[in-house]
Amino acid sequence: MHDSHIKPKQQTFEAEYVFQLYVAGDSANSTQALHAFTKLCEEHFSGRFRLDVIDVLQDYRQALDNHILVTPTLLRIYPLPQIRVAGNLSDEEQVLSLVRG
Amino acid sequence: MAGKRLETTRNPQIAKAPTYIGGLDDILYGGLPVGRTTMVSGGPGCGKSIMGMQFIFNGAQHGQPGMFISFEEPVTAIRQNAATIGIDFPAAEAAGNVFLYAPPINRKINKSGDFDLGGLMAIIEGQSKAMNARRLVLDGIDVLLRYYDDVAREREELYFLNDWLRAKNLTTILTVKLPPNETSVERYDFLDYMTDCVIHLDQRVIDQITTRRLRINKYRGSGHGRNEYPFIVSRNGLNLVPVSSITLKHQKMGAFISSGNDQLDEVLGGGYRRGSCVLVSGTTGSGKTTVAATFADAACRRGERVLYIDFEESEEAMIETMRSPGIDLQPHLEAEQLMFLTTMPEARGAEEHLVEAYTAIETFQPRHVVVDAISACSRMGGEQVAFEYVVRLIYACKERSITCLLTNQTAGFQNVSEISGIGISSVVDTLLFLRLVNSTGEINRLLTVVKSRGTKHSNQYREFLITDTGFELKNVYSGEGGVLTGVARRVQETRDELDLRRTEMEIRYKEQALERHRTMLDSDHDRLQADVEAMKLELERLKLEYHIAAQARELRRQMRGGDKNDNDNSAFFNDLMRGEDDAR
């Protein structure tokens, strides 16, 4: 598993975009989603985002409480409304249009 | 039941997780396969979720904590539905034995690329460790699978989930919804192969009455009941009708017990047999209920309990009606020797009627059960349904050595043991047939014993009279050997045409005999007098017997609706009589 659970840490409250990415260990889909979405954020929301990566294998209660049945699942927490995207986020254009809302 | 279950579990390598659902464990030979997946499929509203809830709740009550995960309805609805079948989920949840979870499924979820069920598996694993769960229900797995708009991916993911569950050693039920009236959907056919045990539920509406059935399509590594089993959803949840199940161990027919009427006992060769099935068939108004009530009355007098299932009239009406032939059932009712179960057949489905009857049998513990009349059972939802109700009830009684007396209204002789075409004769031990005969403007009743297993019964017709003290059988034949071998004739007053003719002839012959006596007395042949007299009387007696036999045969033929030319002896008889006249 990747060690970057929260990144970048310094932009805690100023972030324009807050995301949660639920992954299941280092499964293929999860690894792919993490790479793809980190890249996307750096490119399009640089300095304006916060991304929490939650491994459901480590913390099932998070999955339980947020009804995360499929992994990977991306949640846009902020801005509202919440947006939920399931999948390995391989299609950058599609993901971008979804999370920009 | 427990004993039977142990006896039929012959496969030691398969561990079973009892469902504790009435009757289900019997046909599963113990329960569901431990650590394996069972698929329960069926149309909407046929009881899949209820089965799952009971599996979880009952398990929790027996030290097997469980998780119920629904993809179909919210937790509040699950709790409410469970409460209607007596399941107190909140208490079990508070005790930590049950975990209910119902994540909302939004089919319009945004998708980008492939995904898997990692979240669900993490939840199952984490929660099952937290509560040491042994059982799991995934209710409406098809709803979850719709996340994939891809049949191949659905299948792949389910296989993965199934293998994973097996590795976790959770005894699992997956429920899959099928469109109404379909037994399988191609899309989920693979589930049949994937899972170790496949149970199909269905719900049919036949003649406006709902009938539920359960069938085990497959059970890897274990035997199972192979029929379709009716079940109901009662206040206690799913309830299978547990007969015609694995092994039908009928008790042997017991000792003779009285039918309540000495004459009928004699005709039957001793009476009914304890634990046997007696069918009293007949046309309307022929006296079936009187025969049934007479039996019930006698049994109650002997101190044996009788359950009287009446589909024809109310308890009060039945008791009142039977006062006319002098049968008073009221004291037996008050002494709790007699219990009535009176319902309109169409009031509910056959399964519910059956469960009601079983419950009464279990609680009241009768020695005898009367069903009046099984012909009314077709109003429960058709002939097949009626047939099953009757046969299952008979089996239940036989298993418990309970005597079963059924009445059946028929249109004629041809279908005495049929409910409009569906024969139950193979399970009937004694068959009485009552009918009305119309002879010269009078209606008379006739009774015959069509069959009686294990008894040396008479198969002659007898006139059946309902009196103010029950009923009476008039011997068509009687004599020195009694009813079984009787040849001579018993003169008795009767309004029956046959008896009238018999009496007329008797008088005629008596007159002739007297005349001959006088002639002989006048003669000198005193020495021959006695001989001649004896011979003539003997000849007359034989002719009379012949006449009666011919009459009876004619009557039987009429009843059978047979050809008139068949065995027609009237010509011979007429010749005989003419000869007699000529001689004179």
Q: Is the pLDDT of residue B516 over 80?
A: no
Cα–Cα distance between B18 and B5 in angstroms, integer?
10
Q: Is the pLDDT of residue B15 over 50?
A: yes
Answer with the residue of higher pLDDT: B249 or B478.
B249
Q: Which helix (H) or strand (E) holds B210?
A: strand B209-219
Please judge whether A67 and B104 are an interchain contact, meaning their C-beta atoms are less than 8 angstroms apart: yes
What domains are there in chain B, each with its CATH number? 2-240 (3.40.50.300), 256-483 (3.40.50.300), 497-583 (no CATH)
Query: In terms of Cα–Cα distance, which of B183, B181, B202, B205 is closest to B385?
Result: B205
Q: How confident is the model at residue B413 (pLDDT cuts 50, 70, 90)?
A: low
Chain A positions touching B125 (Cβ under 8 A) are 60
- How would you label A23-60 residue by residue, b for 16+ Cβ within 10 Å and e otherwise? bbeebebbbbbbebbbebbeeebeeebbbebbbbbeeb
Coil, strand, or helix at residue B104? coil
In this prediction, residue B500 carries a pLDDT of 57
Each residue of B549-575: pLDDT tens digit?
777 767 666 665 544 444 444 555 555
Select the residue of B103, B113, B117 nearest A67 (Cβ to Cβ).
Answer: B103
Please judge whether A84 and B121 are an interchain contact, meaning their C-beta atoms are less than 8 angstroms apart: no
CB B30 within 8 A of CB B5: yes
CB B557 within 8 A of CB B437: no
Coil, strand, or helix at residue B21? coil
Answer with the residue of higher pLDDT: B520 or B254.
B254
CB B397 within 8 A of CB B404: yes
Cα–Cα distance between B434 and B285 in angstroms, integer?
9
Q: Is residue A68 part of a domain?
A: yes
Work out the average pLDDT over B127-138.
94
DSSP assignment of A30-83: HHHHHHHHHHHHHHHSTTSEEEEEEETTT-HHHHHHTT--SBSEEEEEESSSPE
In this prediction, residue B478 carries a pLDDT of 37
Q: How confident is the model at residue B381 (pLDDT cuts 50, 70, 90)?
A: confident
B97 min Cα distance to partner chain A (Å)? 18
Q: Is residue A90 part of a domain?
A: yes
**ipTM of this predicted complex?**
0.86
Q: Which helix (H) or strand (E) holds A7?
A: strand A6-7
Strands B197-206 and B209-219, bridge-based pairing? antiparallel
CA distances from A94 to A79, A99, B36, B111 (A): 18, 9, 40, 9
Each residue of B106-123: pLDDT tens digit?
777 888 888 999 999 999
Chain A positions touching B141 (Cβ under 8 A) are none
Chain B positions touching A72 (Cβ under 8 A) are 115, 118
Chain B positions touching A92 (Cβ under 8 A) are none
Q: Is residue A84 part of a domain?
A: yes
Expressed in angstroms, the distance from the first to the final Cα of chain B is: 78
Contacts of B572 (CB under 8 A, 6+ apart): none
For A58, name the nearest residue in chain B, comparing CA atoms only.
B122
| Count of domains observed in chain A | 1
Please judge whether A24 and B122 are an interchain contact, meaning their C-beta atoms are less than 8 angstroms apart: yes
Measured CA angle at A24 (ends A22, A25), to 5 deg: 120
Q: How confident is the model at residue B186 (pLDDT cuts 50, 70, 90)?
A: low
Coil, strand, or helix at residue B70? strand
B→A interface, C-beta within 8 Å: 101, 103-106, 109-123, 125-127, 144, 147
Write B6-9 long-range contacts (CB < 8 A, 24+): B8/B223, B8/B246, B8/B247
CA distances from B287 to B276, B322, B325, B472 (A): 21, 11, 10, 11
Work out the average pLDDT over B349-365.
87
Q: Is residue A33 part of a domain?
A: yes
Q: How confident is the model at residue B142 (pLDDT cuts 50, 70, 90)?
A: confident
In this prediction, residue B505 carries a pLDDT of 67
pLDDT-wise least confident of B233-242, B369-378, B379-388: B233-242
Q: Is residue A1 part of a domain?
A: no
| CATH number of the domain enclosing A69 | 3.40.30.10
Of chain B, the percentage scoring pLDDT greater than 70 comes to 75
In this prediction, residue A13 carries a pLDDT of 52
In this prediction, residue B177 carries a pLDDT of 85
Mean pLDDT of chain B: 78
Q: Is the pLDDT of residue B318 over 70?
A: yes
In this prediction, residue B236 carries a pLDDT of 76
Q: Which domain holds residue A14?
A: 6-100
Q: How confident is the model at residue B98 (pLDDT cuts 50, 70, 90)?
A: very high
Q: Could you tell me where the DSSP H helices lie in B373-485? A: 383-399, 482-485
Query: In terms of Cα–Cα distance, which of A60, A17, A14, A6 is closest to A40?
Result: A17
In this prediction, residue B496 carries a pLDDT of 44
In this prediction, residue B530 carries a pLDDT of 66
Most confident of B69-78, B177-186, B450-459: B69-78
Work out the average pLDDT over B364-380.
89
Cα–Cα distance between A97 and A27 in angstroms, integer?
25
CB B129 within 8 A of CB B164: no
Q: Is residue A89 part of a domain?
A: yes
Q: Is residue A87 part of a domain?
A: yes
Cα–Cα distance between B165 and B186 in angstroms, integer?
24
Provide the Cα torsion B313, B319, B321, B326; round to 10°: 150
Q: Is the pLDDT of residue B355 over 60?
A: yes
Give the type of residue at B70.
S
Q: Is the pLDDT of residue B130 over 80?
A: yes
Work out the average pLDDT over A35-52.
88
Each residue of B52-83: pLDDT tens digit?
999 999 999 999 999 999 999 999 999 999 99
Q: Is residue A10 part of a domain?
A: yes
